[in-house]
Structure 1
């Protein structure tokens, strides 16, 4: 079943003085099946961030459409978009986006508090997730009291606690050391194996090599994609590295 459908997506920005237009996305089309783990890669300026912002309903396209679970995001009214985002999407950011004045527990609870869930329901949702992510003993601490890897686990817990249709991860390993990054990617793999759909934007070939499919964006278009199939992580890494070399040198697939 297709959970995310992106069709002929275009985005043109007009400069502040209105004299020039910049085309960030030219014609992007792809779909994501429920339960897939997809990575998106491309050089700086390729349109990755613009694409992610549109998928996150933080920006609207100039043309084309995005459907999440059959619902056209572009038709959602502005006053309803925050509620839609909170109920359908989970976010994991490079810089964690945790509130320092909130305990880790309260940071995780925040989207449920905004949805007016009961304390009983919040706790029942939290306990299995905290156990899985290995953060049960940290919940009463504050972000400044834990490591970067632990902060990112908390961010993953916050993304999962709403049971989202899609997790959007923006450079999730970018602020982590290699060991913490490996731990996070292992957790992503486990969460995906349990059926969670994940779309991850990353510059890291090592991170992308854990995904089931990798999309490469170039000049606002899908340039190429790689499917895992029976490939090992190392084989995926090599395929990704080869494609990135072609992207950098202007070669053709």
Structure 2
């Protein structure tokens, strides 16, 4: 199995009291290589905590996360940055691009940190840029780009290292409808090329582009839906109904 989330729990304790907040409770699911999964839930449901654990930014109180046979929750703190660099790609809602660097240098940044040669960096970008439609943007600065263009650049930066897993946190939140649709179709294309993607989103429309949707409520997996042969429109309606049931406590 590509990714296993095994009975994960996360308890936060306040610094000056014994009060505990249980953010995740017995979260247990598996991900096949090449899946595109959306994670949904209301604010405070635990979905961001789950994403942070998958990103190795937090450790679970109990349970384990196994990526291609490696327990990533057991990696030493001193080795985590290197692990993320080599295995994980990140796409954020606010892009996290550096205006002082060109688009090309923003994309190269993970490879610079990994000490790759300029020849290899140029080769990887040459392969990647046409797929994302960013060839004409490479010499610009991020402040010269639209939101949709910035997110394409952010996706290029997340893919340039050929990560095992891409984690996306509300990637369409800062975009209008057209740019959101363009971005989600891009995710679908990337996924069809074999990239495994986990995306946290509030949007039923965004989630409808995934192959499976997991719903989290009160720190537990409440429900899941598979897209199968449904259209995006029909799947979005089904997702909205499930979200209504989740919010209504049915």
Report the TM-score when normalising by structure 2.
Answer: 0.99
Look up the match of 1:204: 203
CA distance in 1, matches of 2:17, 2:60: 18
Aligned position for 2:96: 97
Distance 1:183 1:61 in 2: 35
Two-structure CA RMSD over aligned residues (Å):
0.6
Alpha-carbon shift at residue 15 of structure 1 (Å): 1.0
Q: Distance in 2 between matches of 1:210 and 1:121?
A: 32
Q: Distance in 2 between matches of 1:16 and 1:75?
A: 24
Provide, for residues 141-200 of structure 1, a one-character-per-residue CA deviation record: whole Å limited to 9, x for no partner: 111011000000000000111001000000000000111100000100000001000000
**Equivalent residue number for residue 31 of structure 2:** 32
Return the alpha-carbon distance in structure 1 between the equivalents of residues 203 and 215 of structure 2. 12
| SS of match in other structure, 1:61 | coil
Task: Please name the residue that 1:62 is paired with.
Answer: 61
2:43 is matched with 44
Q: Which residue of 1 aligns with 2:176?
A: 177
**CA–CA separation in structure 1 for the residues paired with 2:229 and 2:136:** 38
Q: Compare 13-22 and 143-152 and name the one that shifted more.
A: 13-22
Partner of 1:150: 149
Where does residue 216 of structure 1 map in the other structure?
215
Paired with 2:17 and 2:9, the residues of 1 have a C-alpha distance of 19
Where does residue 116 of structure 1 map in the other structure? 115
Could you list the structure 1 runs, at least 4 aligned residues long, displaced by more than 6 angstroms after superposition.
Answer: none
Distance in 2 of aligned mates of 1:222 and 1:247: 11
Number of aligned residue pairs: 250
Structure 2 Cα separation of the partners of residues 8 and 235 of structure 1: 32
How far apart, in 1, do the equivalents of 2:159 and 2:208 lie?
22
* Counterpart residue number, 2:246: 247
